[in-house]
């Protein structure tokens, strides 16, 4: 089971769309996938128009394990609980070992034999994110055109290294993904160049091109493969899926 945090300290770079559409791509290839929403905004559940009574919040607070929702064949999610996740975080702060609670409470999922678990993080540095990093063993960092995106990625790598030391484990960079790419713009080409100079082979060959269909699929509560199977977005996530499978 590969446990991957999709995280960076910059909002608006496509973390949730990456988690959902990469997860859907892998599920279509027969891999069992779980997406865990670690963001109080609750975008994963919102994407599928699901508001569950039992969420990550209840799992962390009470150990309630009836939290997994099947949204597609081979694709499951755990919703965040939105504002209730703030309550769960406050409870974790009262516990000297609260940062280890996420890994402890979510360990039951091993019985489901998932191939991939994606944790979709909020862009802020929260205790929930740090606790989830202890559970994860890989970091997937989406970036988008803009120097602040590179800085956000660097910041989160520092956080992962800090958590690695505290949790006595290694968190590897699984990959850096260039999102919202527009070849015709100087800023896209420059950020792509800087990323490949900085992280070399860790940057995926696949670039997710800026594509309106990805946003429209969200409005329709669909994955890109369902909403627009012939779109550039679908082609790009298909290529990314193949790249991830080859790297796993």
Instruction: Assess whether pLDDT exceeds 80 at residue 167.
Output: no
Average pLDDT of the segment spanning 86-106: 88
Computed from CA positions of residues 212, 248, 100, 81, in that sequence, does the dihedral angle turn out positive or negative? positive
Burial of residue 106, with CB atoms counted within 10 A of its CB: 0-12 exposed, 13-18 middle, 19 or more buried = buried
Give the global pTM: 0.95
Confidence of residue 168 (pLDDT cuts 50, 70, 90): low
Distance CA 94, CA 212 (A): 44
Structural domains in the chain plus CATH codes? 2-247 (3.40.50.300)
Instruction: Assess whether pLDDT exceeds 90 at residue 197.
Output: yes
Q: How many CB atoms lie within 10 A of CB 196?
A: 15
Distance CA 70, CA 48 (A): 11
| Secondary structure of residue 81 in the 3-state scheme | coil
- Tell me the two tokens of residue 20: 């959902």
Q: What's the CA angle centered on 236, arms 233 and 237, to 5 degrees?
A: 85
Distance CA 148, CA 126 (A): 19
Residue whose entry in the numeric block shows the structure tokens 């910059």: 10
Residue 77 pairs in a beta bridge with: 35, 69
């Amino acid at each position: 089971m590969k446990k991957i945090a999709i995280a960076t300290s910059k909002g608006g770079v496509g973390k949730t769309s990456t988690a959902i559409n990469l997860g859907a791509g892998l599920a279509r290839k027969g891999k069992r996938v779980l997406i865990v929403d670690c963001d109080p905004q609750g975008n994963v559940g919102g994407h599928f128009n699901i508001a569950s009574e039992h969420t990550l919040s209840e799992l962390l607070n009470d150990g309630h394990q009836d939290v997994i929702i099947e949204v597609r064949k081979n694709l499951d999610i755990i919703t965040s609980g939105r504002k209730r996740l703030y309550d769960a975080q406050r409870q974790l702060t009262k516990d000297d070992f609260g940062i280890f609670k996420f890994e402890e409470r979510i360990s039951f999922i091993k019985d489901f034999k998932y191939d991939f678990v994606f944790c979709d993080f909020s862009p802020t540095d929260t205790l929930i994110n740090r606790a989830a990093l202890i559970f994860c063993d890989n970091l997937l960092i989406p970036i988008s055109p803009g120097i602040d995106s590179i800085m956000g990625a660097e910041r989160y790598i520092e956080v992962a290294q800090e958590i690695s030391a505290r949790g006595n484990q290694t968190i590897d960079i699984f990959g850096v993904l260039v999102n919202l790419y527009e070849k015709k713009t100087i800023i896209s080409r420059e950020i792509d160049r800087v990323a490949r100079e900085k992280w070399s082979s860790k940057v995926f060959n696949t670039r997710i091109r800026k594509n309106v269909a990805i946003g429209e699929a969200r409005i329709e509560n669909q994955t890109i493969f369902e909403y627009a199977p012939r779109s550039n977005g679908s082609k790009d996530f298909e290529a990314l899926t193949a790249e991830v499978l080859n790297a796993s």
